[in-house]
Amino acid sequence: MLSIENRYAIDPMTARRFDSDELRKNFHVGGIFADGEIKLIYTHYDRMIVGGAVPAGGELVLDEVKHCGTASILDRREMVVVNIGAEGTVKAGETYAMAKGDMLYLGRGSGPVTFAGNGRFYILSAPAHKELPSRLVRIEDAARVDLGSQETSNERTIHQFVHPDVMESCQLVVGMTKLHNGSVWNTMPAHVHDRRMEAYLYIDLPEDQMAVHLMGEPTETRHLIVRNEEGAISPPWSIHSGAGSASYTFIWAMAGDNVNYKDVEMVGMGEIR
């Protein structure tokens, strides 16, 4: 079963007037992992698609998505699949066995995508201008960056999977950040990157805990409460940061004009309000 939700882009002046329900309707990502279903959100931020596929021991095939305007979803797109569950397989021409934490890049023209086994598959897709080889990237193949400290409660390790330091993609850049024990803040100090949007997914968060995802303009911040396997769509004009009531992991993905991860505009701690 395939279901698709359409999300239009929101400008910062409009977002300033949103209450909690409107913020969640436009920016919150939740309920995308359902047994026996593929659930997608088609965003109008750089045409990014985010979603989930849970074959629950069976098979699910992702092929035509009407919003893309092509016979098959990857005819003019690239895709990254992240397994956040038990072992499973993804087939797109070749069959790839995926353990928890593995990321699979599928290049343009890879054909229909079949999800099988007991994995919980997080799906990210964006338009692609050329064909590139598909590649399975495991955590030991990712580039590693250690940031933060215990003193500021943001000691974390960034694993860059689909990233210029690891492999070539058209515009998708995807990685995973793990908070160390006792640390709760991610992406702090905050930044923005007006040339591309970002999507977050929070995982490994205990069921009785939560994270507060910060968004909005640096001087007009808003927040979303997110639980395990929930996240946020972050517009190019928005900061994207957060703090949890327990340590967690989050998957970040960007699409837009520049794949240079360091191409950001920092926001000073004294600027945020």
Binding residues for Zn(2+): 191, 193, 198, 240
- Measuring CA to CA, which residue among 211, 151, 154 is closest to residue 179? 154
Residues annotated within a binding site: 191, 193, 198, 240
203-214 residues labelled b (16+ CB within 10 A) or e (exposed): bbbeeeebbebb
CA distance linking residue 131 with residue 152, whole number of Å? 43
Residue that has been written with the tokens 């030991």 in this structure: 140
Structure tokens at 243: 């703090």
Q: How far apart are CA 42 and CA 259, in angstroms?
A: 21
Tokens representing 11? Answer: 């400008």
| Burial of residue 48, with CB atoms counted within 10 A of its CB: 0-12 exposed, 13-18 middle, 19 or more buried | buried
Quote the distance between the C-alpha of residue 213 and its chain's center: 14
Exposure letters 60-71 (e unless 16+ CB within 10 A, then b): bebeebeebeee
